[in-house]
Amino acid sequence: MRKTLLIIFLIFCGNSFTQTSNNRTYLEVNGGIAVFEQISSYGPINGETFPGISFLVGNQSFIFQNIFFESQIGLALPSIVTAKIGLGFINKGIGASIGMRLYPTMGYAQIHLPTSNGQLNISAEASPFTNSSFESYSLGAKYIFTIGYQWNVGKSRKR
């Protein structure tokens, strides 16, 4: 229970110190693959890949004109739930961010490409816990590669 409350706190605490003019809320769908590099009781065997999908609600809150705090939470398969927090920048519509997927635990780098009412995202993630006693936090995966789309919702939609 404490871990769940901490995750919720971390995801939404960044919004309290941000500007409101460029902030955006979105729905996101992602598809990708996880790569396993060791024999694991949590997943496939060495070198195998496994598909995944996620449905998220997210927010980009701008701290400065081009720098944002990003947070996402949602449902995923096979992990059931997932959440991410990160920092990023945007210039002429194209953005990039780095951060941490809280579960399954991965560090990530992501590129954001603008569209008419949202953005296309491409990300690469790596686990800090492979071959350790904390391997279960990353579900035994070494890498995750995803592609996704974010649809602006609410006041973030372009009219």
Mean pLDDT of 24-46: 78
pLDDT at 13: 47
Q: Is the predicted pLDDT of residue 140 greater than 80, yes or no? A: no
Q: Is the predicted pLDDT of residue 35 greater than 50, yes or no? A: yes
Phi, psi (rounded to 5 degrees) for 140 = 85, 0
- The CATH number of whichever domain residue 111 belongs to comes to 2.40.160
The residues that bridge with 124 in the sheet, in sequence order, are 109, 145
* Domain containing residue 84: 2-156
Phi, psi (rounded to 5 degrees) for 128 = -85, -5
Q: Is the predicted pLDDT of residue 19 greater than 50, yes or no? A: no
Mean pLDDT of 49-54: 92
User: Which amino acid is residue 146, in one-letter code?
Assistant: T
Give 75-131 pLDDT, tens digit per residue: 999 889 999 999 999 998 899 999 999 988 899 999 999 998 899 999 999 988 766
pLDDT at 17: 46
Count structural domains, the chain: 1
